Amino acid sequence: MVGACANVRFFFANTPMPQLEHVAEVFVNLVWGTPLVVLLLGGGLFFAFFSRGLPYRHFGHAVGIMLGRHDTPGEPGELSHGQALAAALSGTMGLGNIAGVALAIVAGGPGAVFWMWVSAIVGVATKFFTCSLGVMYRGRDSLGQLQGGPMYIIREALPKAFYPLAILFSLAGLIGTLPMFQANQLTALIGDTVFRGDLPVWGGPVIGCVIASVVAGVIFGGLPRVAAVAVAALPGMVAVYMLMTLFVIIGNLGAVPGILASIVTEAFSPQAVGGGFVGVMLIGISRGAFSNEAGVGTEVMAHGAARTNEPVREGLVAMLGPIIDTLIVCTCTAIVILLTGAWQTPGDLSGITLTANAFVGQMGSVALIPLAFVALVLSTTTMFTGWYYGAKCFGFLIGAQWQHHFRWIFVATVVFGASVSIDVVFNIISGCYGLMAIPTMVSTLLLAPRVMAAAREYFARHPY
């Protein structure tokens, strides 16, 4: 393992990184242009109006389903409703909630946060539709196992002419779900905590190898172990992070109204950071989608594994994700960064380093300890779930009988992510996320009437 890490270090020390960074930047800007933002935001608004706000009127019922009050024993699937939501959240509540928000604010200013909120609100309707379809059109893989996900929805519900969209989703998913960003940012935080920001040249690859060993220990146990770890780890992480945020907010309570006002006004300002109104909207929507994955399609794979014969139930559970992920956790990060002014500090700080500096400025260096715990939970649980998503894409493309080999590829990319530039990593992953959204949103828009027909039938039987 040490020899492999040394080889990785040698490779990246001799790679023309500026060229790679430029290519990655061009790629992500091309994918996350206006057409994709219109597809995600416009599609979400369409779902909200087409359903006459149905998902928003049943939050109480959704919480009851998540808590297991409406489970039916013996139904097909691998996970309970609560476990499916935890697995999906472990994928969405990754370091995008800490590092991704910082990147959004640096690139687009306070106004980017507003458009992240918008992406979450419309994402509620999007997740209801996409994840209802994930159960409604589950398909069999090459081993005969029941699977869910946009590629199976397209294969099972749409004419063969749409099958290339299933291939596009799976190819983009192979890259978009890789753990490079999480490994990169966790390594950066370890560098800040242990090495006081001065990470040795061997630090990235060696830390990457340690993280890779932890990831391998979980993903080799399969999806049930991934879900069990997520259910156990996420509540404690959210509690710790909320307490840290409250400490900062209480200490700066008088400044909070002004910060909230700046988020709204900067979202529509022609002079806003990031290229004015359109630029800030593009940054906020893209980072919001990276955070809550509404319309991307990864969450459909997790919820498609739920143990239920009621597609609408799983759609209702799934819609809770953007609320928890973006409106609560991401907002915590944004308020801390904006209150402390860390994003305006001279220097080249970005990602999790910027967020860490914001907390340290208010709480002292002791803040690095709980933040390291939060980052460890977020990054590792995201990596665990990312393996499941990537393996399903891998199995769809070449056959489920071969997908166990993907574990080794996935573990190797942890070391890769710990050794390269954050800009390269984030842009590659974000660009592939955008590509995944195209087949997911197109298929969901085409099949939306079937979801509404199922919803009307469901609520006729269960008039909550």
User: CA 192: distance to chain centroid?
Assistant: 24
Least confident piece of the model among 111-125, 269-283, 315-329? 269-283
Q: At CA 51, angle to CA 282 and CA 79, rounded to 5?
A: 85
Domain boundaries of the chain, sorted by first residue? 34-458
The least confident of 7-16, 260-269, 421-430 is: 7-16
Q: Is 297 left (phi over 0), alpha (psi -120 to 50) or beta?
A: left
Which is nearest to 262 in space by CA: 108, 106, 111, 102?
A: 111
**pLDDT at 180 exceeding the cut of 70:** yes
pLDDT computed for residue 276 by the predictor: 61
Q: What is the mean pLDDT of residues 238-249?
A: 84
- CA 255 vs CA 101, 259, 336, 374, 391: distances in Å: 20, 6, 11, 26, 46
34-458 falls under which CATH superfamily? Amino acid/polyamine transporter I (1.20.1740.10)
**Tokens at 347, concatenated:** 């220097």
- The residues, any chain, with a CB within 8 Å of residue 300's CB and separated by 6 or more, are 130, 131, 133, 134, 148, 149, 150, 153, 440
Task: Say if residue 222's pLDDT is above 70.
Answer: no
Digit-coded pLDDT (tens) for 377-428: 777 777 777 888 888 899 899 888 888 888 888 888 888 777 766 667 778 8
pLDDT for res 454: 92
Query: Which pLDDT belongs to residue 244?
Result: 87
Half-sphere exposure of 376 (CA within 13 A, CB side): 15
CA angle at 378 for the pair 372 and 381, rounded to the nearest 5°:
130
Output the CA torsion sign for 102, 104, 105, 110: negative
In the predicted structure, residue 19 carries a pLDDT above the cut 70: yes
Spatial distance between the Cα atoms of 388 and 148, rounded to a whole number of angstroms: 12
- Amino acid 23: pLDDT: 81
Q: Is the pLDDT of residue 450 over 90?
A: yes
Phi and psi angles of residue 61, each rounded to the nearest 5 degrees, phi first: -65, -40
- pTM (2 decimals)? 0.81
With cut-offs at 50, 70 and 90, classify the pLDDT of residue 6: very low
Output the average pLDDT for the chain: 78
104 versus 390: which is more confidently predicted? 390
- pLDDT, residue 28, reads 82
- Residue 81: which residues within 8 A CB-CB, separation 6 or more? 65, 66, 68, 71, 306, 307, 308, 313, 314, 317
Q: From 120, 58, 55, 166, select the one nearest 290 (Cα to Cα).
A: 120
- Write the pLDDT tens digit of every residue in 128-154: 999 999 989 988 888 888 888 999 999
As given in the structure block, the two tokens for residue 412 are 């190797």
